[in-house]
């Protein structure tokens, strides 16, 4: 992988993470599922795929940065999982997501996505405060992750070109 390809894939992974934060914010704000909720597992989200599937990543960015990325990303997913299990999880949503995942027909998927937007959830005043606190924790973890990503970007730019594939001419 060239330096430019790694930087581009890092940018895409970061954008996938930021997209997940926007989705969660929209779910909380609208009390409904305008979009499919983000992946629950750290290894199956867009950022997780990048983190675990990018060849020689630990060697290029260094084991400390790599460990920080893995641990902070895992922490973010733990907070999100707590939020999801406490407030978003319901049988209707789970059934719809399973149907979307198994359907191969575009029109059926579109109809199921529309159905998903109609699933609402209610929060008591106490739940409202707790979900705000969880979202605040999620934002803190996200900001930590973004700071580490920015450091990794600087590290990638400063890393010896011998660790990268040379661009084709």
Interval 108-163: pLDDT, tens? 989 988 888 888 888 889 998 999 999 999 999 999 999 999 999 999 999 988 88
- Structural domain boundaries, residue 114: 3-163
Confirm whether 169 is domain-assigned: no
Does the pLDDT value for residue 46 go beyond 80? yes
Confirm whether 93 is domain-assigned: yes
> How many domains, in total, are found in the chain?
1
**Average pLDDT rounded to a whole number, residues 72-92:** 91
Q: Which residues pair with 113 in a beta bridge?
A: none
What number of other Cβ atoms are within 10 A of residue 14's Cβ? 19
Confirm whether 147 is domain-assigned: yes
Answer yes or no: are the C-beta atoms of 149 and 72 closer than 8 Å.
no
d(CA 134, CA 111): 32
pLDDT of 7 reads 96
Does the pLDDT value for residue 98 go beyond 70? yes
**Average pLDDT rounded to a whole number, residues 5-16:** 96
* Tokens describing residue 85: 């299990």
d(CA 141, CA 42): 13
Does the pLDDT value for residue 96 go beyond 90? no
Q: What is the mean pLDDT of the chain?
A: 92
Confirm whether 35 is domain-assigned: yes
pLDDT of 57 reads 94
Does the pLDDT value for residue 168 go beyond 80? no
pLDDT of 169 reads 62
What are the residues whose beta carbons fall under 8 Å from the beta carbon of 96, sequence distance 6 or more?
112, 115, 116, 119
The distance from CA 145 to its chain's CA centroid, rounded to whole angstroms, is 11
CA angle 139, 38, 65 (to 5 degrees): 55
Confirm whether 168 is domain-assigned: no
Q: At what angle do helices 46-53 and 3-30 cross, to 10 degrees?
A: 150
3 state SS of 28: helix
Does the pTM of the predicted model rise above 0.75?
Answer: yes
């Amino acid at each position: 992988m060239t330096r430019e390809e790694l930087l581009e894939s890092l940018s895409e992974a970061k954008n996938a993470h930021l997209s997940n934060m926007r989705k969660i914010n929209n779910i909380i704000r609208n009390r409904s599922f305008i979009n499919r909720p983000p992946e629950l597992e750290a290894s199956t989200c867009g950022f997780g795929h990048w983190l675990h599937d990018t060849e020689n990543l630990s060697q290029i960015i260094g084991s400390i940065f790599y460990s920080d990325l893995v641990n902070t990303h895992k922490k973010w997913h733990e907070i999100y999982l707590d939020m999801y299990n406490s407030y978003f999880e319901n049988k209707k949503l789970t059934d719809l997501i399973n149907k979307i995942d198994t359907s191969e027909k575009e029109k059926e998927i579109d109809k199921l996505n529309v159905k998903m937007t109609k699933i609402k959830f209610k929060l008591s005043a106490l739940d409202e405060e707790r979900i705000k606190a969880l979202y605040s924790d999620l934002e803190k973890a996200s900001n930590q992750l973004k700071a580490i990503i920015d450091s990794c970007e600087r590290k990638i730019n400063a890393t010896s070109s011998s660790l990268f594939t040379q661009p084709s001419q």
